[in-house]
Structure formats: structure tokens, C-alpha cells
Amino acid sequence: MTTLTRPPKSSKSMAKRAPASNKKKETSSRATAESMAKQQREISVSEFFAKNRHLLGFDNPRKALLTTIKEAVDNALDACEEAGILPDLFVQILQVNESRFKVTVRDNGPGIIRTQIDNVFGKLLYGSKFHRMKMSRGQQGIGISAAGMYGLMTTGKPVTIISKTSKRKPAHEVLLKIDTSKNRPEIVSDTEHPEDDHLFNDGHGTQVVIELDGKYQKGKQSVDAYLEQTAIANPHANITYVSPTNETFEFPRAVKELPPEPKEIKPHPKGIELGTLIQMLERTKTTQLGAFLQKDFCRVGPGKAKELCSKAGITNRTWIKQVGHEQAESLYKAIQETKITSPPVDCLVPIGSRALLAGLLKEVKAEFFAAATRPPSVYRGNPFQIEVAMAYGGALPTEETARVLRFANRVPLLYQQASCCSFKAAIETGWRNYGMSQSKNSLPSGPIVLLIHMASVWVPFTSESKEAIADYDDIRKEMRLAIQECGRKLGTYMRRRKRMQHQAERRGIFARYIGEISKSCESITGTPAKKIYDALKKMADQKTAEADYQLDEEGNFVADDGLANDDNVVVLDPDQQVTPDQIETDLFGEPVGGKSKRGKKTRKKTRKKVTKKAGKKTLKKKTRKSTRSDGQPTLLGQENRKKKKKRIVKKKKVRRSRRA
């Protein structure tokens, strides 16, 4: 105790005795503004990301392998769609040694012209998508160059790019490295390679080969899962994948049409901040304020421009050069106070409920499928749209919690689930309302796959690695509403399933005793047991089936629970297998994602066919209506009424005869 309170004797005395020269040394080692100035210099982007590779999704070998494939596949799909080409992708992972892999991704896109290859692959923050407001998988201009840089840093091997831009031009091969200190490409070799022309059957495309340190492991966050989910969200793509174990997986195309091309839009005035407005004023090519507002923003016409300017106390003829900070601030205030139409939504191309269903049907073995697409909405001036699809039952595991498949602009998000807005929307949904069990603040448990897709001109990712969507209130609300829409359909299906199970149980009980009863009746009445058995069996079937249909007082079927007529719901037999061709024709009666070639009636017919095939006769019957839209009974309704009358008369007769 005493030692603690006693002053540190030795150190004091040492300080007293310390020679003057030592003191000098200490002070001289301290940094001065001048010495610090010598160390202050620019940091290159690639140097920064080489040190902080975890920000780009290269924090461990397993994730690095996935990120590399993801960046290359996303670029390939983007390029094909932009060029209006149905994507045909080849992905190969070759294991070089225990920890080293050679990744090859080849597409049939438009290719990359020779002069651009260097910058696209050898410079971070260089791309065609950052400066525009158009829906695409890539946004930042870092993806593929970062993957190449990671490969170079871990193996020292350059990236190999082979590109062919037309049938007439030979393939071109470039080997390059990134000079991280300068964020510049370093060309190792650059040659024409006509011998590689055979790689591109369509006469154009790009192949990227990156060697990197990685780890291949199957599971929910594996390359296999990423490609499987990519196939779900991109049913128009054909993907061939050769895994490190030399297995070939085919993800065939389920839709033979490309999704419509998203349109590019300009920023919405409500979505910009004061600083951005000032920057835009400094950089605009227009000379007058009115023209600036109309040309550099969307949803601002001559009238709205005039209104904004007059509210800001300036005219729309004011020269841009004369707009100072004060005017800019009052213009910004005027924008906030004025009602401006929401941004256009034709810039969004959702996957579409039917294409989502097709994707899920192709990859998930379940019995109930539902999808919902929300109307477009806006966050911070950026249009976005949410889609949700759900699969339930079948071969899905019953003991686990629901599996959430998250997508942003058709790209699967495999990491950081807990910090993703879509996950938060899923856990705050009341799943118990739909017959599912759910603990507090968690996903429902049961055989459920929940797919959530956000389409936007700018997806707000939580980091550069593009793994999770930021938690904006507007986005979360839309997600929750879409989940609820699907959930209600699931709830209806669950109730129907319960009812059917109950009837099946009743039928089972009847069936158990019918044999005994018919034998006893035979001994009393002498009627053959077989005859009695058949009659009783028929009656039991009828009774339980009737209860399924539920007739109302007038003998009509109780109104359909809504699922049979819903185009966004598919119910299959638990063991039913569907092929891609069946998905396109049988389930929807027309190519998914394409325009209707046949009428709606035909579609309904084919749907009935499927449900019949699945053995759900109840569904088939329920699609027939007993009343017309004008309230008059249909032929079926009339028939029912006649039948009911007959039944009542018959019952009365039976009662009378019994009394007699």
C-alpha cells in the first residue's frame, strides 16, 4: 500500500540527474511543422485500397475468391445487357495449388477496345457507370481493377485480358499489372491473338484471367451459391461454371428475352444537397439559371424553373456566373419548399414477378411460390423499386430459420446480412400472422426462402464492397410492405393446407372403419361387403371433398380464397419437378419476361393444367365462378342451385320415410 502512495523516487532522481544533452535529444526528435510537411504527400487510391482491401471485400481468402468472380460476372452481365446481347457466360476456377486459384470469366459481350483495356483493368476508380444515373450492377469503377490488384499482390501474377470487338478484328491479348503507388496500369505484353478467336463464338466478347490466393469452400457464402442466386435473378442469362473440383454446372436460360433497357435519368432537385448544387452551378455548360435548372435536372420544365427562380428572388435569366453562395442557398431553399413531381420511373427495370417466380422455380424445390412487386418509390431523390418473392414447403429444410436471398440490381448479396436493410425489414415483419413461428427480433423458422430485390439508379451500399443495403426508412418501409403482400398469400395457402389436412385426416378415419362396418352389414343384411364398402368409400370421399369446397346457403362454392386466380402465385405438388421449358410454357402459358402472345384466358387454362397435374383438384374447381360480374348466376351457379333443391327434396323424403 505504502509503495503506491510514495512518489516514484527513482524516476524523480533520474530526471534530476538527467544530463542536459539528453533533454536536447528528446526535444529534437519531436516533429515540427516543417518536418511533418516533408512527410505530407498524396495517397494514391490504389495504395489506399491495397492497404484497406477489406473495404473492397478482400478481407479473407474465401471472400476474395468470391469477390473476384462476382466483379467479373457483374461486369460481364452489365456489358451484355448494355449491348443488347443475351448473356452467355463461362466461369472457371482452376486450383493451381492448395491456396492458389486461377479464375477465368468469359462473356459474349461487346468486348473492350484496345485503348481502354489498360485503364479499365489497371486503374482504380475508372469506369463508365459512376457519372451516370442509370440502373446497372456496377457503380463505382473499382470492381475489376481491385480484383486484379489483389491477384497481383498475393501472387505477383499479372491480369490477362483477351477481348474481341468484332468478327472482322482478331482477338487482342493484354497482360497488365497495376502500379499501386501511382494508380496506373503497367503493360507487360500487348499482342494480337487470332488463335484465341475460337473463344468467342459470337465474334465478340471479353475474357479475364486472374490468379489469386484464395480458398474454395462450399456453403451459403460460396461461389456456387453466388452463381446459383445470380441465375435466379437473371433468368435470361446462360451460365456454365466449372468448379475447382472440376465439376461442370449449367445454369440454363429460363427466359429467352432480355429485360428492357433501363433509361438514364438526371438528378432530381429534391435529392441534392447545397454543396452539390453549388458544384453543379460551377460545372454546368449552360449560361443562364433557367436553362441550368431545366437541362441539368429531371422534372423541371420552364414553368417550374420560373417558379423556383422567383421564390429564390432571382430570375431564370440570371447569368450562372453571377449566382453567388447566397443566391445558391436561396435557390436550394426554394427547391425544398416547392412541390416537384417525383422522378420518372422508367429508369427502373425490376426483374418482374413472373421472372422472379421462374427463377425461384428453377433453383428452389418448394411447393408454394408467391411474388410481389411494389410501385416505384424515391429515397433522397433516387428512384427505386422493391420486389419480393417467397417459396415455401417442398424439400426446403423445416428445422432452420428462413433463408433470405438479398439482391441489389440483380446482384446477390452474400455478406453482412445483419446490417442490410432487407434483413431488418424481414425481421420486423409479423410472420405469425401468416401461420409461421417467429421469435422476437429474428427471422421466421420453417421451410421458407425469401427473396428481396432492390432496383435503383443508385443503390446505397454500406461500403465499397457492395455487400449490404443502407438502412433508409423509405427503403425499409417498401421492403416490409412487399414482404407483407407475399406473406398474406402465404397465410392464405397455409390456412388452406390446414383445412385440407383436416379433411384428409377425417377421410383416413372413415377409411379405417369402413371395412369392418361393411363386413358387419353383410352379416346382417346379406348385401355383399364389397358393394357396401364401395358405397361407403364413395360417400366418405364425397363428404370430405364437399367440406373442402364449402358451399354457402345457396349451394354455391364459397368465393375463391384468391390464390387460384393470382398470376403471382404458383402451387406445385411437393414432389413435382419442373424443367425450364415447362416453367416458360406450362406455368405461364407464354415466355416469362416477354409480351403476352396468348390471351389471359389461355394462361389461366394452362395454370389449371399444372394444378391438376399436381393433384390439387380443389384449385381447379375453385377457379370456376358461380356468379358473373353482374351478379347473375353462371351456368355452374344455376346447376348448383338445382342440385341443392334436389338434395333438400331428397332429404325431406328420407326423413318422411324414416318417420313412417
Ligand X SMILES: Nc1ncnc2c1ncn2[C@@H]1O[C@H](COP(=O)(O)OP(=O)(O)OP(=O)(O)O)[C@@H](O)[C@H]1O
Sign of CA dihedral 211, 215, 216, 222: negative
Smallest distance from the beta carbon of 109 to ligand X, in angstroms? 4
118 binds, among ligand X, Mg ion, none (CB under 5 to 8 A by kind): none
Stretch that binds Mg ion, among 68-76, 211-219, 248-256, 547-555 (CB under 5 A): 68-76
Name the binder of 107 from Mg ion, ligand X, none, CB < 5-8 A by kind.
Answer: ligand X
Angle at 454 between CA 451 and CA 455, to 5 degrees: 130
Nearer to ligand X, 110 or 447 (CB): 110
Tell me the C-alpha to C-alpha distance, in Å, between residue 28 and each of 21, 24, 35, 36, 39: 11, 6, 11, 13, 17
Q: Maximum CA pair distance of the chain?
A: 132
Q: Would you call 308 exposed, middle or buried from its count of C-beta atoms within 10 A (0-12, 13-18, 19+)?
A: buried
Task: Count the neighbouring beta carbons within 10 Å of the beta carbon of residue 567.
Answer: 14
If the CB atoms of residues 149 and 404 are measured against Mg ion, the closer one turns out to be 149
Q: Where are the alpha helices (DSSP H) in 437-528?
A: 473-525
Nearer to ligand X, 109 or 381 (CB): 109
In terms of phi and psi (left: phi > 0; alpha: psi -120 to 50; beta: otherwise), the region of 243 is: beta
Q: Does an H or E element contain 411, and which? A: strand 411-413
Q: Does 143 bind Mg ion (CB under 5 A)?
A: yes
Residue 258 beta carbon to ligand X: minimum distance, rounded to whole angstroms: 16
Closest approach of ligand X to the CB of residue 114, in Å:
13
Nearer CB in complex with Mg ion: 76/232: 76
Q: Which residue has 512527410 as its cell numbers?
A: 39
How far lies 122's CA from each of 151, 178, 384, 608, in Å?
Answer: 12, 5, 32, 56
Q: Does residue 383 bind Mg ion (CB under 5 A)?
A: no
Shortest Cβ 372–ligand X spacing (Å): 28
Which residues make up the interface to ligand X (CB under 6 A)? Answer: 71, 74-76, 79, 107, 109, 112, 120, 127-129, 138-145, 206
* Minimum CB distance to ligand X smaller for 124 or for 614: 124
Work out whether 109 is an interface residue with Mg ion (CB under 5 A): no
Angle at CA 291, nearest 5°, toward 286 and 293?
A: 105
Q: Considering beta carbons, is residue 161 or 278 the nearer one to ligand X?
A: 161
Q: Is 422 in the site for Mg ion (CB under 5 A)?
A: no
Query: In this chain, which stretch among 72-80, 429-437, 439-447, 589-597 interacts with Mg ion, using CB under 5 A?
Result: 72-80
Q: Please state the closest distance from residue 364 (CB atom) to Mg ion, in A.
A: 27
How many C-beta atoms surround the C-beta of residue 25 within 10 A? 10
Distance of alpha carbon 367 from alpha carbon 610, whole angstroms: 12
Q: What cell was used for 454? A: 432492390
Question: From the list ligand X, Mg ion, none, which binds 76 (C-beta under 5 to 8 Å, kind-based)?
Answer: ligand X
Residue matched to cell numbers 358387419: 520
Residue nearest to ligand X (CB): 138
Pick between residue 46 and residue 568 the one whose CB is nearest to ligand X: 46
- 141's contact among Mg ion, ligand X, none, with CB below 5 to 8 A by partner kind, is ligand X
Taking each helix axis from N to C end, the angle separating 353-363 and 223-233, rounded to the nearest 10 degrees, works out to 140
Rounded least distance, CB 33 to ligand X, Å: 38
Regarding 57 and contact with Mg ion (CB under 5 A), the answer is no
Which CB sits closer to ligand X, 46 or 206? 206
Point out which residues bind Mg ion (CB under 5 A): 75, 138, 143
